[in-house]
Amino acid sequence: MMCCYAYQKTAPSGYAMTCVKNAAGRWHGSFAHIVAYVRAYGPVPQGMTVEHLCHTAARDSCPSGPACLHRRCINPAHLGLLTPGQNALAGNSIWALNARKTHCKRGHPFDEANTYITYRGRRDCRACSAWHHKRQYAQGS
């Protein structure tokens, strides 16, 4: 992958910012990576977001948050389109980290046969749940 083009003006979030004129001729702040994408490839389709592919490639070594240098990148070759859900899972949030787990904390695989979704929408391990219920029954509670 080519080098990142790091834009210097940033928002507190760490994302590069620039000013552009809107259709009414008024200036407003905009994320520089979105402006770079639009200039290189055209409008962003509805329901899609512009993702820093350079960040996704370096996800494990990146500090994330405002300290993430990839948020300042405006290299069009490093930008791509994702749905908001794909974009969220490409990051380092607790939800994204948990979604990438392939095994529970006791080492059982998260596969179709061993995984169920709780009423709260959480993914759980059938083997651990069975062990927990068996243990509770044995204790008489």
| pLDDT digit string, tens, across residues 22-76 | 889 899 889 999 999 999 999 999 999 998 888 766 666 676 677 778 888 999 9
Q: Does the pLDDT value for residue 124 go beyond 60?
A: yes
- Residue that has been written with the tokens 């992958």 in this structure: 1
Query: Looking at the chain, how many residues does it have?
Result: 141
Q: Are 33 and 73 in contact (CB under 8 A)?
A: yes
In this prediction, residues 102-128 reach a mean pLDDT of 93
Q: What is the pLDDT of residue 1?
A: 53
Give the per-residue pLDDT at 115.
94
pLDDT at 12: 87
Res. 7 pLDDT band, cuts 50 70 90: confident
Closest CA to 52 of 36, 39, 67: 36
On the 0-12 / 13-18 / 19+ scale of CB atoms within 10 A, 13 is exposed
Q: Which residue has the tokens 């794909």?
A: 86
The whole-model pTM stands at: 0.69
The angle formed by the CA atoms of residues 89, 40 and 76, to the nearest 5 degrees, is 45
